[in-house]
Amino acid sequence: MKKASAILAITSLAAILITLSSCATDQPATITGVPQSRAINRTAATGPHTATVANENLPTPIAALHYAENATRGFYEPQDGIYLGAWLLPGYQNRDFTSRAGQDHAVFAYEMTLCEELPFTWLLQNMADRATPLFVINPPLHDDVPIGDMLAALAQRLGMFNLPMFIVFYPPGHELVPAEYSVVFRYARAVFLRYAPQAAFVWMAPNVMSTIRNPFFPGSDAVDWVAVSLLTERDESGYLPDTFETFAPFYHMFEAHHPIMILPLGVSHFSQLTHSYHLSCAATEIKRVYQTLSSFPRVGLVVYGDAFGFVRDTRDDFAISIEPELMQAYGKAITNELFLPTLSRQTGGQTGRWVRSPHMGYYFDGEFFVDIETLQDLSLPLPQTVEINGRYFANIKNIGNISHCPLRNVVLITGM
């Protein structure tokens, strides 16, 4: 791990950071909770709200999206959809995985330390498959070479390939304090801008509870994408609390600032706590997770962690390539035109993208209801409403330019 003396040496190169000197000043996006209960308690709203709706059980929360014409897209961010990615064990061929999945993948991940030699064979394999490499770069194992020299050498070698790529620099697990980490990250970003400008730089959040004010966040001006791990684990009673209940606040915190990648995604099919396999449950969960991800339009890349089994000292096994039932489920889950098999080489700055409302709606009894705060945020007129669990909702059939999208399973607000 990097010693303080080496870190201090980088500060002497502060001139390189002039273009990256300002810290992020963006305010966090407002976050509002989703409906608190799946058991509905509906009454007609008081005052001017006069609708009366019969009682129902088990309503389903549903997201609402609107299209923002002036919202910019990030470096390599897709116009619409989610890039498919996979993180495979060393030696597993990309084509073997994609053949079994029945779908090409846009991105493949490779983990290395800063002092390692480049995996040229792996890079050539990606070039042959027209896939984009994603490097997870950990701190060097030794400090006999100045870190600045190691960064320059790596950036120069990668720049020679003249390829789009993602660089996840110093993910959680390093031993740097926040001030040191920020200096190293920003310096590395400057070096790559100089020698490998086609590399998108990725900050990986320590966990899904992270915010844009996390002490390790190096500043929006030095970050192209934000990554977070979503590993769905099991205990004796089944899967742990719903993945998306914790992911949604994280998403809304970063949505306005950066495209988001899930790195890695994993669904457990075996836990060392129970010592039992749950293949059917895992297959169902994989399908649900990928369907739900499509309702988060600024998730631009999801990388399944096939390498994340017990070999990575995890308590659960998330690998799917060793289980035909799971590969089949995975293949069905990604058979959706929103999941993209190739990378767009757009370099950012394009305008117009879907934005997810922080206020969830409901689906029940064959009808869709949107939270009136979503309408108020968009300065849309309020029709007749009903009260659900203490909040007001409007039936979309009473509102123009709002419809249900079965592909994403969301409510789309258009034509504003």
Comparing CA positions, the residue from 230, 255, 375 lying closest to residue 308 is: 230
Q: Cα–Cα distances in Å, from 14 out to 7, 8, 97, 373?
A: 12, 11, 44, 46
C-alpha–C-alpha distance, residues 162 and 150, integer Å: 19
Strands 270-271 and 316-317: antiparallel
Contact 101, 331 (CB under 8 A): yes
**pLDDT of the residue at 387:** 87
**pLDDT of the residue at 37:** 30
**pLDDT of the residue at 57:** 60
Question: Digits of tens for pLDDT over the chain (416 positions)?
Answer: 444 444 444 444 444 443 333 333 333 332 233 333 323 333 333 333 333 333 446 688 999 999 999 899 999 999 999 999 999 998 899 999 999 999 999 999 999 999 999 999 999 999 999 999 999 999 998 888 899 999 999 999 999 999 999 999 999 999 999 999 999 999 999 999 999 999 999 999 999 999 999 999 999 999 999 999 999 988 777 787 788 999 999 999 999 999 999 999 999 999 888 888 899 999 999 999 999 999 999 999 999 999 998 666 678 899 999 999 999 999 999 999 999 999 988 766 778 899 999 999 999 888 999 999 999 999 998 889 988 878 899 999 988 889 999 999 999 998 65
**pLDDT of the residue at 364:** 84
Domain definitions of the chain by residue range: 4-24+74-348, 42-68+354-413
pLDDT digits (tens, 9 = 90+) for 121-174: 999 999 999 999 999 999 998 888 899 999 999 999 999 999 999 999 999 999
Q: Which CATH superfamily is 4-24+74-348 part of?
A: Glycosidases (3.20.20.80)
**pLDDT of the residue at 312:** 67
On the 0-12 / 13-18 / 19+ scale of CB atoms within 10 A, 213 is: exposed
**pLDDT of the residue at 90:** 87
409 sits in the region (left: phi over 0; alpha: psi -120 to 50; else beta) called left
β-strand partners of 225: 202
